[in-house]
Amino acid sequence: VIGKLKLNRRAFLYGAGGVAIGLPYLEGLPERSAWAAGSEPVFAFFMTAACGVEPKRFFPTGTAGSDTLTALLASGEQAVTALKDHAENLIIVRGVNYPQTGPAGCGHAEGLSQALTGRAPRGSGSGAQGSGASVDVVISKAVNPAGTDPITLYSGNLNNGFIEERLSFDDSGKVRPATDNPYKLYMALTGLATPGSGGTGGTGSTGAGGTGAMPTPMASELSIRRKSVNDLVRAELNSLLQNPKCSAADRQRLQQHFDSIRDVENTMAGMGMGAAAGTSSMPVTSATCSMDGIDKPTFDGLSKWRYTKTATGAGGSEQIVLLHMQLVALAFACNYNRVGSLQWGDGTDAAIYDVPSNKSLGWGLHYISHRTASDGALGTNATAEAAHAEIDAVRMTTFAAGLNHFRDRGLADRCVVMWNNHVAEGNHQMKNVPHVIWGNGGGYLKTNQYVDAAGANNATLLNVLISAATGTPTTDFGSSAGKELTAIKAA
Amino acid sequence: LSANTHSARSALLAFVVAPLLSGTLGCSADIQGQAGGSGSTGSGAGHQGGSAGSAGSSGKGGTSGTSGSAGTPANPDSREVDMRGEPLYSRFLRLTVDQWENSVHDVLRLSAPTGVSQDFQHAVGGTTDFDNNERVVYVDNQAWRDFQAGAEAVALQVTATNAALQAVVAGNDAATFIKTFGRRAFRRELNADEVTAYTNVYTTGTTNAEGTVNAHTKGARYVIMAMLQSPNFLYRMELGDRGAPLSGYEMAAKLSLWIRDTTPTDAMLDAAENGSFDSAAGAAMQATQMLGDPAVARTIRKFNAELHKFALYDSIQKTGVSGWSDALNPEMKEASYLFFDRIFSQGLGVADMLTSTVGFAGPGLAKLYDINLKGSGIQQVDLGRAGYYAQAPFLTLWARNIDPDSIHRGVRINLDTLCAFPGVPNQMLPDIPAPKLNQTNRQVITDLTSGCGKECHGQIINPIGFAFENFDGLGRARSMDNGSPVDTSGSYPFAEGFEDFADSTALMQIIATGSQAHQCWAKKMAGYALERDLVEAERPLVVALGAVSQQGASLKDVMVELVKQDAFRTHVGGAE
């Protein structure tokens, strides 16, 4: 049950585990990535799901380009019809290929490594990684303050799964760790959102973070303490950075550490705890940057959450995706961060979906997608194929529910949410990988259309989304070779 | 053929043949074909016998110039330990989450784990052998938030009362506290500038910290918070000249964090100050003492759990298999831990891991082994089976429901015990067909892998997997398969050349006698100790350590031998 939360920051501080544990986790900031007046930001969120789709029952019926999505999704049983309420804000793209269009070893790791990099992977087998920065990292470097990492989330089995994080990569192609429990982002964000209607902790009218919401003595002490500690740690890092015995890699490592301190300091500044706040021109109102729509009891209940293999149950991957999306929408509305990614399932996702056709099988998604209970990718089990289509519908329903939060926070005109998959279908092919885009990217994208990319490299699509998110035309991302998928651009 | 529904990670894998590729592995194989980095010129791949020219199998690149491009078909009679790696030679090795938790516990003199680190960001898995590898331990935004929050939380905890702080460092003198606690936290003496800097922090705390505790406790609170966020605590540093010996303090920290998974004790720091770590013999003596510390048990457990993927025991799942229940999962996991615990604690060695008939079983495993237990709980028993790989946990994990997963069994032993690269996984894996009348699992797999994947499967993967055909998917002994006798015989190209074997017992004896498993274990443990990949240039180190092990040394003795080596005791990396 999602309801309006009536919360003030003081109540939260003292309620969530007590000061000793709760306080240090509070680092909300509405102003971390302030922007100039008249240049409103575009936020970007990239979601990559596992193990392909059942294409015959996934894409809209009808020919791409023949009609609007409003019309194409109005009826029918295709998986994407679950998105019909968002048709006006959607672009569905078929015919997108990854640079490496088929597996050279393990298609799952290789697909994941291409999904947001637009480059053929580095290496093969289950250890394949990106061969360059992923789109979230590229955008983050362009629009977030220096040293601020993109939000990197995960819904799946990080405890004992197989092929875990393999979606977001830094400049060197090193995979970046992700956070699976929504509680962590929730804790980071809760301190920044203004109360829902009836709350008592500040007005939340201008995105300044409600300086009145933070208990003044505590805020002051926290600010003084962290400044004292951070100044010292920074000095120590500076000293180490100047050590002539350090290699370039050593310095890069220390600089990353250094920048991360600054990131948290920026957060504090946004809370009105260390620097002037309220420089935003974005109308961060109580309707957008607020706790409305955030189900506090559910999130509080996640403090001890651990992965469960049943995807469709409480605490399962579908619920976790939805909760992540709620928080990312809030994070964007509060300008906590401008970009994020979510890996939706392990590379070989063993999550079990409770859909009708899987009742007799009881298989995990990986096997469902292979149409056989093995790594063999050429199975023919018809029941599994039906189950896959049903799972697609479940996942699109989850996606649609998550998009509701973006819509309700007024992000349709200043956001791009992209959903794709790490393979096209269960046989590890990476041709015709489904892509769904929500939001017009600040007017940069032409929505309400079904596009056939006709085999275009996914980097050409990502070029357009980078352009939308950064405001800087980009045609050289990944292996795009100067091309962009112009069909998704507004005229 | 019933469906295999155990976890995806332990998924049954058809390492089968498809056109065009000679490598035939799948996603569960944990094969990490790495792209070439910046410039290896490479001699490494020729040792692997890998499939020529497959994407991504070009060497791991790196600085040593010893890895390098694949494609040179190996001499099948001379398979050596795979020495490809991508070391950074970082001089700033961030504490792992466990090391942070253990170190905080120790420097604060706590009576129980803080638990604060439970939800810290974990290291990315699956791209390095171990989660302490330099490539996955660094401080990014989330890690910093975690360490900052954790430091603040535990500092508040131990300064909640004046009395609580006295358990950390007795007395109320600022300088004493800073120097004493600082030495523990930084694993060395503080210099004068540092004492001054932390005194300033202390003073800030005395005037600003909240609460009713006295000024000293307030000041100490800030100092604890600061020191636990300091790079001097969060990183194990090695800052000397390249090729120069590590300092005593650096050695103490390196040894303690490796062997005990925590910061050095005061006594170890005293020994470091006194020069007890400075010589190879002295360092070896210190290491020997640490290896007698009970804390070493958790290190050994972590090492074995990561090497043998014990986490997968949590998620084994089977459908319609008589004799199976989820309750077996924790029993299998603990029995596996106990087996390796015993090898280590009893002063046994690599050969014993492969050949010891002593195992562990609880009520569930006893049924699978068809033995009677006299007591309750998990007990030590003589299983009459040679080594870990013939035990039910391994055999159940790597199974296709009730059937043996011969391919995965073979792959795991190649990777984990022989350090043999079996080739790049196949592109498109066909399903494993149901056996025909009287057709054995071995025959099914042989037929399936007899095409262009023949080299990898026929020579390297399948023979080892087939040696366990007399154990079904629950590790139960069997002599017949689908109405036909099982065949466990085979031949494998070890480093010394091809050897024939009749069954898994004979196979394990050959492996235990030969050099490869000993070198492989030495390489894995050295990588864990050095917190980085090893490369071809370090083959002599692996060979030397392997020789010690092959001569019957215990695991502890091999670890001590590693400590004596320059590779452990000198600085590497740093400025070019």
The whole-number pLDDT of residue B166 equals 98
The whole-number pLDDT of residue A216 equals 60
CB contact residues (below 8 A), chain A span 89-108, against chain B: 100, 102-108
The whole-number pLDDT of residue A16 equals 29
B386 or A296, higher pLDDT: B386
CB of B220 within 8 A of CB of B177? yes
Give yes or no for residue A140 having a pLDDT over 70.
yes
Over residues B201-244, the pLDDT tens digits come to: 999 999 999 999 999 999 999 999 999 999 999 999 999 999 99
Give yes or no for residue B547 having a pLDDT over 80.
yes
- CA distance to partner chain B, nearest, from residue A460 (Å): 23
d(CA B139, CA B90): 13
Contact B209 A25 (CB under 8 A): no
The whole-number pLDDT of residue A105 equals 75
The whole-number pLDDT of residue B317 equals 82
Over residues A462-487, the pLDDT tens digits come to: 999 999 999 999 999 999 999 999 99
The whole-number pLDDT of residue A214 equals 45
Candidate ranges A247-251, B451-455, B486-490; pick with highest mean pLDDT: B486-490
CB atoms within 10 A of CB B331: 23
CB of B275 within 8 A of CB of B245? no
Contact A228 B201 (CB under 8 A): yes
Q: What are phi and psi of A311, to 5 degrees?
A: -65, -35
The residue among B349, B324, B331 whose CA lies nearest residue B400 is: B324
Which residues in chain A touch residue B473, judged by CB atoms under 8 angstroms apart? none
A19 confidence band (pLDDT: 50, 70, 90): very low
Candidate ranges A9-13, A60-64, A288-292, B286-290; pick with highest mean pLDDT: B286-290
The residue among B27, B380, B559 whose CA lies nearest residue A109 is: B27
CB atoms within 10 A of CB A238: 11
Contact B141 A229 (CB under 8 A): no
Any CB–CB contact under 8 A between A5 and chain B?
no
The residue among A228, A233, A232 whose CA lies nearest residue A257 is: A233
Residue contacts between A and B (CB atoms, under 8 Å): 326
CB of B386 within 8 A of CB of B461? no
| Least-confidence region, from A294-298, B183-187, B503-507 | A294-298
Beta bridge partners of A152: A341
Taking residues A119-133, report their average pLDDT.
Answer: 88
Instruction: Give A127's contacts (C-beta < 8 A, 6+ positions apart).
Output: A109, B30, B31, B32, B33, B34, B126, B127
B334 confidence band (pLDDT: 50, 70, 90): very high
Q: Which of A100, A177, A236 sits opposite B231 (nearest CB)?
A: A236
Distances (CA, A) of A396 to A419, A436, B132: 10, 10, 38
Give yes or no for residue A4 having a pLDDT over 70.
no
Which residues in chain B touch residue A372, judged by CB atoms under 8 angstroms apart? 431
The residue among A327, A330, A323 whose CA lies nearest residue A411 is: A330
Contact A247 B31 (CB under 8 A): no
The whole-number pLDDT of residue B71 equals 36
Give yes or no for residue A34 having a pLDDT over 80.
no
Looking at the predicted complex, does its ipTM rise above 0.90?
Answer: no
**Tokens representing A155?**
């819904």
Any CB–CB contact under 8 A between A364 and chain B?
yes
Side chain identity, residue A483? K
The residue among B396, B401, B404 whose CA lies nearest residue B440 is: B404
Helix, strand, coil percentages in chain A from 3-state DSSP, rounded to 5 = 40, 15, 50
Give yes or no for residue B9 having a pLDDT over 50.
no
- CA distance to partner chain A, nearest, from residue B157 (Å): 7
Contact A256 B428 (CB under 8 A): no
**Three-state DSSP state, B490:** strand
Contact B30 A232 (CB under 8 A): no
**Three-state DSSP state, B518:** helix
Q: What are phi and psi of B121, to 5 degrees?
A: -60, 130
| Least-confidence region, from B30-44, B154-168, B355-369, B435-449 | B30-44
Which residues in chain A touch residue B25, judged by CB atoms under 8 angstroms apart? 105-106, 125
**Tokens representing B434?**
């149901």
The whole-number pLDDT of residue A293 equals 83
**Tokens representing A122?**
């580095």
The residue among B354, B322, B368, B381 whose CA lies nearest residue B508 is: B354
The tally of CA atoms less than 13 A away on the side-chain side of residue B244 is 11
Contact A105 B426 (CB under 8 A): yes
Which residues in chain A touch residue B319, judged by CB atoms under 8 angstroms apart? 362
The whole-number pLDDT of residue A279 equals 39
**Tokens representing A289?**
């940057």
Give kind and range of the element (H or E) at residue A176. none
pTM to 2 decimal places: 0.87
Which residues in chain A touch residue B23, judged by CB atoms under 8 angstroms apart? 105
**Tokens representing B420?**
């043999």
CB atoms within 10 A of CB A75: 10
| Least-confidence region, from B123-132, B347-356, B502-511 | B123-132
Which residues in chain A touch residue B403, judged by CB atoms under 8 angstroms apart? none
Over residues A400-455, the pLDDT tens digits come to: 999 999 999 999 999 999 999 999 987 789 999 999 999 999 999 999 999 999 99
- What torsion do the CA atoms of B534, B539, B541, B545 make, to the nearest 10 degrees? 100
B19 or A243, higher pLDDT: A243
d(CA B173, CA B166): 11
Q: Which of B200, B222, B426 sits opposite A225 (nearest CB)?
A: B222
Which residues in chain A touch residue B52, judged by CB atoms under 8 angstroms apart? none
